[in-house]
Amino acid sequence: MRREIFRMDRAEAEELLGRAEVVHVASTTAEGEPLLRAVHGVVVRGAIAFHGAPAGEEIEAVGRAAVVSCEQIVASIPSYFTDPARACPATTLYRSAQAHGVIERVDDPDHKAEVLEALMRKYQPEGGYAPLDARSPLYRKAIEGILVLAVPLERLDGKAKLAQNRAPEERARLLTKLWERGSPGDPEAIELLRGASPDTPVPEFLRAPAGCALACALGPRDVGAAVDLLEGAYWSQGVPREAIARALLGSSAWVGARDAAGRLAATARAVSDGSKRAWMFDVMVAPSLRGLGVGEAVVRLLLAHPAVRGARHVHLGTQDAHTFYARFGFRNRADLPPLPFTSTEMVLARA
């Protein structure tokens, strides 16, 4: 029987645990009763830390063994992806992490402030508050009164079921099925599966020119490199880096390409309602890969993205790439049949 669940390395398990929106803490009370809590947690100083009220069951668990866990459902795989009749192949792909240890109370004010600041950065990344400082009059009493607990990550275990047990050709077919289905999260699942099994053949929809690899779902790790690519573009003049980053992360679809060293070398994004209209933005290829067909491959991937491919009309604006976009069927608005109604374009321009 082929192994289905594989262990994650420690760094990946720690990242998953620290990034989880909610973590589950299981322990026992002073009377030996089971205790299970869902908490907001952050990884600080080699431990998963969380806060609570200074009275109640959480305080009773200090010094007791605990298990802290989280999970991420990557994709639900229906049976008909691989078998037209049998229900048996239906499965769920996921990642999970568990830490076993003893619950410790954090009493050092600076350590407590560090944990609380990490929680704020995680759950309120936009800021809007004075940074937490144990000596600040704003926070000193609050930090003294709040309970902060931690479970050291000395015993950390991560597991991933990402189709690693399947034959490479079978995994490639699974990627294609996920792309064709196009449910929310499927593009991200494709990239996770590819990362878990680098020997998976490249499916047709991800075929790229030699020397680069397409990515159908970019994310927070790619923001810095993408902003670097876009910062000098004529349409980004005067736009702060933070605004470019927010636009990328707020897109309905964000795809790109990486060079042979794995560096982000092309990016393109779209905002779409999935049915009537989509708008393409920020198509950019690094100078080192221009003229090789990378831009065309990235645009085709974006147009085929589940969030874009169902839109009846796809819009874009360009000053100098009309010939390039004509290859995909784009035409100037003036060359298209008139709309069956009269309209005037209106723009609300905010500083």
Q: What is the pLDDT of residue 230?
A: 97
Q: What is the pLDDT of residue 339?
A: 74
Q: How confident is the model at residue 290 (pLDDT cuts 50, 70, 90)?
A: very high
* Predicted confidence (pLDDT) at residue 54 exceeds the cutoff of 50: yes
Q: How many CB atoms lie within 10 A of CB 46?
A: 12
Q: Encoding tokens for residue 332? A: 């100037």
Q: Encoding tokens for residue 68? A: 């802290």
Coil vs helix vs strand at 333: helix
Q: Which CATH class is domain 6-73+92-160?
A: mainly beta
* Predicted confidence (pLDDT) at residue 346 exceeds the cutoff of 60: no
Contact 113, 133 (CB under 8 A): yes
> For residue 282, which phi and psi values (nearest 5 degrees)?
55, 45
* Predicted confidence (pLDDT) at residue 2 exceeds the cutoff of 80: no
Q: What is the pLDDT of residue 342?
A: 76
Return the DSSP state at 8: P
Q: How confident is the model at residue 86 (pLDDT cuts 50, 70, 90)?
A: very high
- What's the whole-number mean pLDDT along residues 297-324? 96
CA distance 258 to 25: 39
Nearest to 330 by CA among 322, 338, 341, 340: 322
Return the DSSP state at 85: S
pLDDT digits (tens, 9 = 90+) for 218-251: 999 999 999 999 998 999 999 999 999 999 999 9
Q: What is the pLDDT of residue 59?
A: 78
pLDDT digits (tens, 9 = 90+) for 97-139: 999 999 999 999 999 999 999 999 999 988 999 999 999 999 9
Give the mean pLDDT of the chain: 93
Q: What is the pLDDT of residue 350?
A: 61
Q: What is the pLDDT of residue 198?
A: 95
Q: What is the pLDDT of residue 5?
A: 81
Q: What is the pLDDT of residue 40?
A: 96
Q: How many CB atoms lie within 10 A of CB 271?
A: 17
User: What is the secondary structure of 282-308 as a DSSP string?
Assistant: EEEE-GGGTTTTHHHHHHHHHHHSTTT
pLDDT digits (tens, 9 = 90+) for 139-192: 999 999 999 999 999 899 999 999 999 999 999 999 999 999 999 999 999 999
- CATH code given to domain 208-345: 3.40.630.30
Cβ burial, residue 221 (10 Å; 0-12/13-18/19+): exposed
CA distance 272 to 264: 23
Q: What is the pLDDT of residue 1?
A: 41
